[in-house]
Amino acid sequence: MSQNISILIVDDEASVRDSLYNWFIEDDYQVEVAEDAKKALSLLENRKFDIVLADIKMPGMDGLEMHRRIKSLNKDCIVIIMTAFASVDTAVQALKDGAYDYVTKPFDPDDLSHLIRNATKQISLVSENETLKENVIQLVNIEDIIGTSDPMRKVLQDVASVAQSSSSVIITGESGTGKELIARAIHANSSRKYFPLVSVHCGALTESLLESELFGHEKGAFTGAMFNRKGRFEMADGGTIFLDEIATISTKMQIELLRVLESKKFMRVGGNKEISSDFRVICATNRDLKKMVNDGTFREDLFYRLNVVNIVVPPLRDRIEDIPLLVNHFIKKYCTSMSRDLVTIEPSAIKRLEEFEFPGNVRELENMIERAIVVGNGKEIRLKDLPVTKEIVQNNIESLDDLEKKHIAQILIKYDWNISRTAKALQVDRVTLYNKIKKHELKK
Amino acid sequence: MSIVNYSLIMDKQYITLISYGHFEKDFLATIAECITHEYSYPVSFDESYLDLSKFYDPARHQYDANKLLKEIDSKIEPDAFKTLGLFRVDLFIPILTYIYGQAFLNGRTGIVSLHRLKNELYGLSTDENLLTERFKKIVIHELGHTFGLKHCHTPACVMLSSTYVEDIDQKNVSLCAKCKKEIVS
């Protein structure tokens, strides 16, 4: 650990600089010295130091002023103020300005060791925290939302736009299209990302259970309520609450939900103490809520309260160009989790998947790939490994020309417009392929 | 008295211990045996005299180790191998309240002192054996620095940094395998 920590010693006394230098070098720290604040600041402009040990009394700029300037260059730098003449005023001022510690010379060797060890621990914790934060951001943004098709690009643009605000969002889309994933992406890109994302599957709970789940309950509120319980609204304080299958909630729950959304205050079931919670709401549904409003089965005021932004996630059949990417992603996911070598997929299997209706959307595709890896030969996913039959294939009648164009385009995309590999896959020569590309006006 | 350096006698490299103050012969022999065992070099002895008043800081009632170290280093032969000055006085460096010893990292000179190793200083009864053990460890530690070793984090290694005498008592008198390997390389 010491090898990664850099220390700058700033003191006008050469004997102090030399002593500290030797002391820290013996502990394998990277050490540099400066005889005054000017030299120190000049060094700090060109490189980062983890710890600065600075004397207060120096000719020119004193240690306290230098400390303030260091903080403006690098707020994470740990600055320890040293002095031979301790005073309460300077100590208080130094600590108020953000100094890590204020120590008097000479130090007890044990105290100096502890001081530097604790400072090193803090540096390590800050660094670990930054890494964890980056992991949180990475978690949903990039790896799990797969798609380069135009409809998916629009969804991701909408996510980026809406994430920065705290506006309520309704995500609509068929079952299995990844609505929860989109909700997680919105949360992960928002300023609330370091607070919880709390999910509630409204469709899985009865009205009374949903009420208890959302608002919490007090001990004895109903039979079986042996302890106080926090509700999801409370747990989402500072963060986001994701209400999946919002269209399934009863009229009574709609009224209660509207009240909470407007006031951000509520009481636990069986309780009498008002609780406040600051949360952002994201809802998801596969129903047409506007139609339900018109039918009178969903409250109009609640609809408009929730539907500040609407993101529509396309069904898989509207983004077939994403299928090869999704297939590769799931192959990697399941082969890794099963500790197997990565398998390939034969072109005819990909082609059949692109023709398939996928009523279950991405979830259904994922299940197919997982199954194919389990039952397959361990090297390649073949058409026979997939539970797709000719009868389920799309019924759209297309001309041979259209089919040819579509097929050639897919194979070109698959091989990233590598003409040689595409021609080989299609079992034609390069000249024929070039002619076909020209005929169908295909462009990269 | 000039410093005689036996380092090149019979084309052998010696580690030289120079006493500044009285040290019993048996005591020195024990220390020398320990050094040879650890570093595989023979040890030669010498006595010398320094006017320590020049290195005394009246405000601290201690002796400046930096200045002592530089003084000894300036007086030994240019081709001296390793030299360790032995003292009985309380040593300091400007930034610390006390030190047990000091050496030039990868250099040829170091100094050590008995003073802070004595039990009596901490209100405990005299223990000559313990004092000898502690002194051996400080000597091996500072010589380790002259061989280029930095502080080690292995708990029992003699190169572990020790700030209190209790820390010195916890560690071994020998180098750990990693430090030994570093010296050889």
The 10s digit of each residue's pLDDT in B159-180 is 999 989 989 999 999 999 999 9
Query: Would the ipTM clear 0.85, i.e. be above it?
Result: no
Question: For an interface test with A, which of B60, B67, B95 has the most A Cβ atoms less than 10 Å from its Cβ?
Answer: B95
Query: Which CB contacts under 8 angstroms, 24+ apart, belong to A38-44?
Result: A39/A10, A40/A8, A40/A10, A40/A66, A40/A70, A41/A66, A41/A69, A41/A70, A41/A73, A43/A8, A44/A8, A44/A70, A44/A73, A44/A74, A44/A77
Checking if the pLDDT of A98 tops 90, the result is no
Quick check: is B133 in a domain? yes
Contact by Cβ (8 Å): B147, B107: no
- Indicate which residue of B120, B128, B142, B182 is catalytic: B142
Among A139-143, A250-254, A276-280, the range scoring the smallest mean pLDDT is A139-143
Which residue numbers of B have CB closer than 8 Å to A's CBs?
A: 60, 66, 92-99, 102, 105, 145, 150-151, 161, 163-164
A400 or B71, which is more confident = B71
Residue A400: which pLDDT band, with cuts at 50, 70 and 90? confident
Written out in words, the top-level CATH class of the domain with range A146-314 is: alpha beta
Is some CB atom of chain B closer than 8 A to the CB atom of A112?
yes
The closest of A137, A159, A162 to A147, measured between CA atoms, is A159
Contact by Cβ (8 Å): A282, A140: no
Check residue B6 and give its pLDDT. Answer: 43
Check residue B10 and give its pLDDT. Answer: 45
Nearest-Cα residue of chain B relative to residue A104: B95
What number is the average pLDDT over the span A146-150?
Answer: 88
| Domain A397-444 coded CATH 1.10.10.60 | yes
Among A85-94, A416-425, B7-16, the range scoring the smallest mean pLDDT is B7-16
Measured in angstroms, the CA of B26 and the nearest CA of chain A are apart by 32
Partners of residue A110 in chain B, C-beta under 8 Å: 163-164
B161 or A414, which is more confident = B161
| Domain A2-132 coded CATH 3.40.50.2300 | yes
Quick check: is B184 in a domain? no
Quick check: is B179 in a domain? no
Check residue A260 and give its pLDDT. Answer: 94
Quick check: is B165 in a domain? no
Residue B5: which pLDDT band, with cuts at 50, 70 and 90? very low
CATH of A321-394 among 3.40.50.920, 1.10.8.60, 3.40.50.620, 1.10.3660.10? 1.10.8.60
Partners of residue A106 in chain B, C-beta under 8 Å: 60, 92, 94-97
Residues contacting residue A157 through CB under 8 Å, at least 6 positions apart: none
What number is the average pLDDT over the span A70-87?
Answer: 86
What number is the average pLDDT over the span A247-275?
Answer: 92
Is some CB atom of chain B closer than 8 A to the CB atom of A113?
yes
pLDDT, tens digit (0-9, with 9 covering 90-100), for B136-151: 999 999 999 999 999 9
Residues contacting residue A214 through CB under 8 Å, at least 6 positions apart: A200, A231, A232, A233, A257, A260
Query: Does A112 contact B102 at a Cβ distance shorter than 8 Å?
Result: no
Check residue A133 and give its pLDDT. Answer: 64
Contact by Cβ (8 Å): B145, B110: yes
Return the DSSP state at B123: T
Quick check: is B73 in a domain? yes
Q: Dihedral of CA A381/A386/A388/A394: which sign?
A: negative
Check residue B16 and give its pLDDT. Answer: 95
Number of domains in chain B: 1
Contact by Cβ (8 Å): A208, A254: no
Contact by Cβ (8 Å): A153, A295: no
Among A122-126, A239-243, A341-345, the range scoring the smallest mean pLDDT is A122-126
Among A87-96, B50-59, B111-120, the range scoring the smallest mean pLDDT is A87-96
Measured in angstroms, the CA of B182 and the nearest CA of chain A are apart by 14
A337 or A391, which is more confident = A337
Is some CB atom of chain B closer than 8 A to the CB atom of A14?
no
pLDDT, tens digit (0-9, with 9 covering 90-100), for A20-46: 998 999 988 999 999 999 999 999 888
Other CB atoms within 10 Å distance of the CB of residue B5: 20
Is some CB atom of chain B closer than 8 A to the CB atom of A26?
yes
Nearest-Cα residue of chain A relative to residue B60: A106
Task: Note if B47 is an active site residue.
Answer: no
The range of the structural domain enclosing residue B146 comes to: 9-151
The token pair at A3 is 């090898």
Cα distances from B76 to residues A260, B14, B106, in angstroms, run 85, 13, 16
Other CB atoms within 10 Å distance of the CB of residue A240: 24
The closest of A30, A3, A16, A7 to A115, measured between CA atoms, is A7
Residue A349 has, within 13 A of its CA and on its CB side, a CA count of: 19
Residue ranges of domains in chain A: 2-132, 146-314, 321-394, 397-444
The closest of A289, A191, A299, A216 to A250, measured between CA atoms, is A299
Global pTM? 0.54
Q: Which of A16, A105, A113 is closest, CB to CB, to B163? A: A113
Query: Does B96 contact A106 at a Cβ distance shorter than 8 Å?
Result: yes
- Please check whether the two domains, A146-314 and A321-394, share a CATH topology: no
Checking if the pLDDT of A143 tops 60, the result is no
In angstroms, the CA A217 to CA A230 distance is: 7
Beta bridge partners of A6: A30
Is some CB atom of chain B closer than 8 A to the CB atom of A109?
yes
Q: Please report, for the domain that includes residue B78, its CATH number.
A: 3.40.390.10
Check residue A58 and give its pLDDT. Answer: 87
Quick check: is B84 in a domain? yes
Query: Does A16 contact B95 at a Cβ distance shorter than 8 Å?
Result: yes
Among A170-179, A277-286, B53-62, B118-127, the range scoring the smallest mean pLDDT is B118-127
Quick check: is B31 in a domain? yes
Q: Where are the beta strands (DSSP E) in chain B?
A: 15-19, 43-47, 56-57, 62-64, 82-87, 91-93, 96-99, 101-103, 109-113
Nearest-Cα residue of chain B relative to residue A9: B95
Query: Does A109 contact B92 at a Cβ distance shorter than 8 Å?
Result: no
In angstroms, the CA A55 to CA A66 distance is: 10
Measured in angstroms, the CA of B101 and the nearest CA of chain A are apart by 12
Quick check: is B161 in a domain? no
CA B178 to chain centroid, in Å, comes to 21
Query: Does B163 contact A107 at a Cβ distance shorter than 8 Å?
Result: no
Checking if the pLDDT of A395 tops 70, the result is no
Query: Does A22 contact B102 at a Cβ distance shorter than 8 Å?
Result: yes
Q: Does the N-terminal peptide bond of residue B78 adopt cis geometry, omega within 30 degrees of 0?
A: no
